Amino acid sequence: MQGKIALEEHFAPPADWDKRLKYVSARLPNWPEFARRQEHTFDVGLKEMDDNGVEHTIVSLGAPGIQAILDPKDALEVAQRSNDLIKENCERRPGRFSAFAAIPMQDPELAARELERCVKDLGFRGCMVNGFTQLKTPDSAIYCDLPQYDPLWEMHVKLDVPFYLHPRNPSSLGVYEGHPWLLGSTWAFGVETATHALRMMGSGMFDRYPALQVIIGHLGESLPSSIWRVDHRIKKGGEVTRSKKPLTEYFRNNFHLTTSGNFHDSTLTQAITEVGVDRIMFSADYPFEEMGQAAQWFDKTTVLSDAERLKIGRTNAQKLFKMT
């Protein structure tokens, strides 16, 4: 399929650009190649786009990025500098790239203002936040469901742009001790992000901001197959959330999923069954996945009709991001 739009594809400045930026995959043996590809998204990534029918990519800063900077003023400075750098690179290739803002979640008011600047002045499509945020101490973990983030949600609704919740490793790694292979995108990313999304659903924030739209990748971080049981056990066990509706309703009305890094027919079918074809969008997860593998699977999978392929590959993103 030609004309695809991808939206979980990452960019990183050169390694010596700002020592405060950290990247979760730097421990991997093949990190140097990932780093090279991430630093050259606008060149190497563009060639992969051209080779695989991807017309437009929304780029974002890799994880954990801004969320691992402990000082709010430092976080704002690096976020602004990163956003300006991404904008410069997008402008050199008109029509091929746009961006999600990196924002300093260490201070919700600063985060809202940087989002507004990026959307209004730089033409960004929303923001991407890499999981929980650290503040002041390395062992801190602040999650997006906390009420202090209401100014950010107000800004998202005002600007009518989505919030992309991207993975990072959990703050507590005890259960993974002795099994480092479980960390990162193999397992820990998905569990952490699914839990974070459930916290958001159960917090009442979507009752206060029903128009707010959130994106999660990897075909829903296993939530399509597990959210019915979450609601079932909440009801059976007499548990009380702060939300007014079953969590499944928020999942179906406030969340969008991407195919990033999960190129599997049965998982795609499950996601469509749970949230509907109109809430799923194509993505690869460059540079950690090959654009070619993502595109070849998506273009050939027999679980999609041509009309569904067009929606997931292009028109759903056009609608959500108001692209012409």
Higher per-residue pLDDT: 87 or 37: 87
Q: CB–CB of 99/125 below 8 Å?
A: yes
pLDDT of residue 25: 63
pLDDT of residue 23: 74
Q: Which residues are catalytic?
A: 285
Task: Write the pLDDT tens digit of every residue in 172-223.
Answer: 888 999 998 898 889 999 999 999 999 999 999 999 999 999 999 999 999 9
pLDDT of residue 112: 98
pLDDT of residue 30: 72
SS3 content of the chain, % helix, strand, coil (to 5): 50, 15, 35
Domains and CATH numbers, the chain: 4-321 (3.20.20.140)
> What DSSP state is assigned to residue 227?
H
pLDDT category at 26 given cuts 50, 70, 90 is low
- The per-residue b/e assignment along 95-124, b for 16 or more CB within 10 angstroms, e otherwise, is ebbbbbbbbbbbbbebbbbbbbbbbeebeb
pLDDT of residue 28: 64
Arithmetic mean of pLDDT over the chain: 94
Phi then psi for residue 45, to 5 deg, are -65, -35
In whole angstroms, give the CA distance from residue 72 to residue 78.
Answer: 10
Provide the strand spans (E) within the chain: 4-11, 54-61, 97-99, 127-130, 133-135, 137-142, 163-166, 214-216, 255-258, 280-281
Task: Write the pLDDT tens digit of every residue in 212-265.
Answer: 999 999 999 999 999 999 999 999 988 889 999 999 999 999 999 999 999 999
Query: What single string gives the DSSP state of each residue in 141-171?
Result: EE-TTSGGGHHHHHHHHHHT--EEEE----S
> What DSSP state is assigned to residue 219?
G
In whole angstroms, give the CA distance from residue 260 to residue 6.
Answer: 9
Mean pLDDT within 109-113: 98
pTM of the model: 0.95
59-63, 158-162, 269-273: segment of lowest average pLDDT: 59-63
Per-residue tokens: 243: 């939300």
Residue 3 has pLDDT above 70, yes or no: yes
pLDDT of residue 27: 62
Query: What single string gives the DSSP state of each residue in 48-109?
Result: HHHHTTEEEEEEEEPSBGGGG--SHHHHHHHHHHHHHHHHHHHHTSTTTEEEPBP--TTSHH
H or E stretch covering 319: helix 316-321
Q: Can you name the residues that pair with 137 across neighbouring β-strands? A: 135
What percent of the chain has a predicted confidence (pLDDT) above 90? 82
pLDDT category at 21 given cuts 50, 70, 90 is confident
Q: Can you name the residues that pair with 281 across neighbouring β-strands? A: 258
Residues 6+ apart with CB under 8 A from 312: 259, 277, 280, 281, 282, 298, 304
